[in-house]
Structure 1
Amino acid sequence: MTFKIEQIHHVAYRCNDAKETVEWYTKNLNMDFILAFAENQVPSTKEPDPYMHIFLDAGNDNVLAFFELPTQPKMGRDENTPTWVQHIALRVQDRDTLLAAKKQLEENDVDVLGITNHGVFHSIYFFDPNGHRIELTYDDITAKAKIAQITEEIKYEMLDEWTKAKRAPKHTAFLHAEEFEAKKDN
């Protein structure tokens, strides 16, 4: 029997403070706090390690979870990975929703970067109180022609070319071409 993944059940990250994290996500991203449980022993490994595990509704049966681990060393990040790489991307309905989210975040004193035009989607970026980079994004339905250019053959060609050269192939240079041209003109 073979299997296929149906969807992500939940994604879990570490947090500094469970209560602060719940309050931040409910206040800033309007996410519902849906579940919490705490134990003094890890169920899978049986290690003694007290934790609080919280779950937030990210819409459409998607769940974002966090662990507070008070007996572990202070939380850090991979210093060899730039801060822009590792992030949590959450989709919103459209540009108006993204603009409303940006306004709400800025009114709550959250520093927001963007709107960044990625050609096929548009995004804003900011950090949660735990240092996790968050992206809010919406798909640009007018960019369907651009998406159509990325065919099954091209994605594998691109992967093979990247594997050989470790430099960006030109296949999808059109995605940000207009944005880079506009910056050169300014």
Structure 2
Amino acid sequence: MSTGNFQVEQIDHVTLFVPDRYEAAQWYKQVLGLEICREYKKWADEGGPLMISSDSGRTMLAVFEGQSSRLQEADVEQHIAFRVDGVGFLKFVDRIEEMLITDGGNQVSQEDIVDHDLSFSIYFHDPYGNRFEVTTYDYQAVAETLEC
């Protein structure tokens, strides 16, 4: 038994609920580049989660079939944030309008970029009501590009 301190290495996965896991996986692939983790597909085949990831399974979304739920308190809505570098952020927002992503009602566009003074973010919902954020801390590089 180890006598060292316990320390979390990283987030392993976040659970989402959607009506159809495979349909959702296609949406997440198109919008966020997430791929089905083949080594965990057995779980989905047995009624468990469909695991998807953009980094070969180091950090994953566990997609279950069922009702989505949202926690809203003090105008802060539960969401999942994906960090990207500045180039990735700009590529994402360049194609956001063609992907027809909404914020739960209205189509999201480049005008919806939020300047947090230290980072830039854009918020949107998947077709199942789950809220997401794509964010970058490459503030200066993105700020210079957005000013053009």
Pick the TM interval, shorter chain: 0.7 to 0.9
Q: Does 1:57 align with 2:57?
A: no
Q: How many residues align?
A: 127
Aligned residues with identical type, % of pairs: 32
Superposition deviation, residue 10 in structure 1? 1.2
Give the stretch that moved more between structures: 133-142 or 52-61. Answer: 52-61
Q: In structure 2, what is the Cα distance between the partners aligned to 1:100 and 1:63? A: 22
Going by fraction, where is helix more abundant, 1 or 2? 1
Aligned ranges 1:84-163 → 2 under 5 Å: 84-94=76-86, 96-110=87-101, 111-112=107-108, 114-140=112-138, 142=140
Conservation of the 8 A alpha-carbon contact between 1:102 and 1:112: no
TM-score (norm 2): 0.72
Q: CA RMSD in A?
A: 2.5
* Candidates 77, 85, 91, aligned match of 2:70: 77
Structure 1 residues 82 and 132 mapped into 2: Cα distance closer, same or farther (>3 Å)?
farther
TM-score (norm 1): 0.59
Residue 27 of structure 2: aligned partner:
24
The structure showing larger relative contact order (alpha-carbon pairs under 8 Å, at least 6 residues apart) is: 2
* Unaligned 5+ runs, structure 1: 41-50, 143-186
* Unaligned 5+ runs, structure 2: 102-106, 141-148
Q: In structure 2, what is the Cα distance between the partners aligned to 1:104 and 1:82? A: 31
